[in-house]
Amino acid sequence: MIYDGIEFFNVEEINAQGNILRFPEDVIQNLGNSLHQRGRFYGYRSIGSELRFVTESLFFDLKLRSDKEECKIYVFFGDYMFKAYTLKEGIITNLHIEIPEKFLKHRENIKEYTYHPKLIRIVIGYSGYVSYISLNTYGNRRPPLESELPKKRLLLYGSSISHGSEALEYMNSYAFILSRLLKMDIINKSIPGSCQAEEIMCNYLKEIPCDLAFAEFGVNVLGLYSLEEYQKHLHMLLDSFQTKEVYFTSVLDNGNLLEQDSLSYKKMMDFRGYAESIQKYTYIDPRELLDDFSSLTADFLHPSDYGQMRIAINLYHKLNEK
């Protein structure tokens, strides 16, 4: 969306409180089912969203507020990271940014890029509960042109694993690393703990244009859906993507592998078996993505930073096989 001379990438709304939202608020407020509705607050996290603009000014002031917990913000000039900042909870923070003289001197000579060097990108990291207050560029500004952005977009939907939870930085998430490897924009619509592929979510995903799509689906519904419900929602999810290039995986390796007599392990294997049987879309074996059990954190569920890196590299090769 375009607002105040800025492209808010991977953003659907800025509500009356200034909250930057990755989903329409009416979608957020209807997520979940009678057993699990945590998506109705996790949906307000704007991790992976960006503010993008171009200005001839040598400096600018950006005012943001973190509404819950501290939040990391990363400033990029095109592909080049400048600095990371921390927004304190409940406090309006004014980021005064001056573009380094050496970068200004040489940026016109940079010919190989994914994002144009004149494009200023403000990337939202953890915890992601961020409100936009104002931007002062001390001169004109505009949203980026198509020629200043990647040529293709990948739409991503998944659990906290795809959201990057437990990685130390959002920039270490597989979504962010994969974007760099593919030289694509990644529209990350993953939602931690609440990836249920509800009908309202799938209808929303249908509206997002993309060149290819990837879904990581199953771990959040192991205790919520029967195999039949999993089948129904998986097909609903895969059919929602506006592209013929749809890739997906099921439940990645986790602590259930250490309890092979448990019902959770059996259900996980049933989910995997059904997903693998689908011929219409390209299935990727979860063990080919997370290929090292020790790359999990000690909760035996979320990948560590190393695990996120392994997924990014392995998925990059899978998406480039065709």
- Which distant-in-sequence residues (6+ apart) come within 8 Å of 176 by Cβ? 48, 164, 170, 186
The CATH label, of 3.30.930.10, 3.90.1150.10, 3.40.50.1110, 3.40.50.720, for the domain at 153-319 is 3.40.50.1110
Task: Tell me if 2-148 shares its fold with 153-319.
Answer: no
Strand partners, 81: 76
The pLDDT, as a whole number, for residue 14 is 96
The pLDDT, as a whole number, for residue 39 is 86
How would CATH label the architecture of 2-148? Sandwich (2.60)
Strand partners, 303: 296
- Could you state, in order of their start, the residue ranges of all structural domains in the chain? 2-148, 153-319
The Cα 114–Cα 123 span in angstroms is 15
Q: What token pair was written down for 90? A: 């409940």
The pLDDT, as a whole number, for residue 322 is 63
Chunk the chain into consecutive blocks of 10 residues (it has 322) and report each block's average pLDDT, rounded to whole numbers: 97 94 96 87 94 97 95 97 97 96 93 96 96 96 97 97 93 96 97 95 97 97 96 98 96 96 96 97 98 96 97 96 70
The pLDDT, as a whole number, for residue 35 is 83
The pLDDT, as a whole number, for residue 38 is 87
The Cα 165–Cα 160 span in angstroms is 5
